[in-house]
Amino acid sequence: MNTYEKGSLTSKRCRIVRIKNFESRMMLSGVEQSDLSAAAEVVINLPESDRIDVELDGNSLVVRSELAELFRAPASNIARLDLQGTAQPDTVNLSNLDSVFQGNIHLDLKDGTDRLNFVGMDHRIDFAEEAQISVSGLEWIDIRGHGANHLTFSEGDIAALSISENPLTVMLEGDDTLEILNSDFEIVGTVVEDGQFFVMAESLAGTPLRIGGLGWANPLDRLDVDNSNTFESYDLLLLFNELNRRTREDPGNSQLGNPTELQHSFALRFYDTSADGLLTPYDALLAVNGLNRQTRMDRIAAAPQAPQNGQPESSILPSFTHAPTTTTPPTSPLDSSASTSQTSLASNEVKTTGVGPDVWSTNSTDDELEPYQLHQRLDDSLLTLLAHDRPL
């Protein structure tokens, strides 16, 4: 192993860089390879800097601070990149290296409020897969790059990432997804800090997690409107209620308000299933599609059957076909989702609102909606909403 004192060649802000298993030469701008004969492990003690950028330049892996280039070498020859942080707040901007770099990245960011920003697009970050990336001393993960990025970790990863008393913070955008393996996390509240709205989640074991960037969208399950940790027909009814209210009160406004400016506390109702900042019939369509998919999967699991007469199974789409109002309830995509207790609760709420007269009225003597009646009224209401001048 060769050890180089960068401070002897450049500025006092530079630190030691240890290069293993290959020869190198020092450059004033950093460390540059000359002959790589084997896969290498690179350890860089980071300087105090506003940011550190880890990125590709062609087929080369490059590490830069805002002052200088710290390291450059062919990415295919690096088995492990180990970045050692400082006692001050560190910010590391990590580009998508998957096209060339097949090694492991380790970040030990030590003390301070340290941030890891995934920049660029098409990131699929898996902290549960140690062969890809491992991090310690991290308080903030931001995957709001370009396009749809995906972050996966376990509760153990969340607990191990931050060494401070502050919960780990994850920042997302609408097209990003968060997956917590074997999760028992639930949303317990919200907080506004420095003008930003965060959802506070916690596991049964007490591991905290703070999630920001999604506003009125549920970061744990986009279709779980009522934060019950399940997705069912009641979530769809809540969406229709809110759509109905908005249609009557302000037909031209689909924009959801800034949750940091609410006159009252956030009620943990996550209406934005599309995570686009708008409440439109499209949010209800996503929920209808989810219910159809969920019901179909339940039925296949309960009684799997081969397609009859060689006909393929129909696609999972809302049908908008009214269930006939007969004394024998027909098969409905919502049958397995609408339990008696949920239907009763839903009918008590939705009858007070609606688009058009008697959309949610019922002729049942016990004042409850049967599943097939619920299906018909959902179809009626959705078609009525779509008839309004509201963008999809």
Q: How far apart are CA 90 and CA 136, in angstroms?
A: 12
- pLDDT digit string, tens, across residues 67-103: 899 999 999 999 999 999 998 999 999 999 988 998 9
Long-range contacts formed by 64-67: CB under 8 A, 24+ apart: 67/11, 67/13
pLDDT at 384: 58
Q: What six digits make up the tokens of 8? A: 């002897």
- pLDDT digit string, tens, across residues 311-358: 555 444 444 333 333 334 333 333 333 333 333 333 334 333 333 333
pLDDT at 186: 96
Structural domain boundaries in the chain: 1-112, 233-387
pLDDT at 127: 87
Q: What's the pLDDT band for 262 if we cut at 50, 70, 90?
A: confident
The residue ranking higher by pLDDT, 32 or 97, is 97
Three-state DSSP class for 155? helix
The residue ranking higher by pLDDT, 102 or 388, is 102
Indicate the pTM of the whole model: 0.70
Backbone angles phi, psi at 233, to 5 degrees: -65, -30
**Residue 258 pLDDT greater than 80, yes or no:** yes
Concatenate the DSSP letters of all residues of 254-295 into one string.
-BPPPGGG-SS---S----TT-SSB--HHHHHHHHHHHHHHH
> How does the average pLDDT of the chain come out, rounded?
75
Residue with tokens 């560190």: 90
- CA torsion 285→288→289→290, rounded to 10°? 120
**Residue 234 pLDDT greater than 60, yes or no:** yes
What is the helix (H) or strand (E) element at residue 111, kind and residue range? Answer: none
Q: How far apart are CA 8 and CA 27, in angstroms?
A: 11
**Residue 59 pLDDT greater than 60, yes or no:** yes
Residues contacting residue 97 through CB under 8 Å, at least 6 positions apart: 54, 55, 56, 61, 75, 105
pLDDT at 252: 73
Instruction: For residue 60, give the amino acid letter.
Output: S
Instruction: Provide the angle, in degrees to the nearest 10, between the axes of the packed helices 371-387 and 233-249.
Output: 30
pLDDT at 380: 60
Mean pLDDT across the stretch 13-26? 42
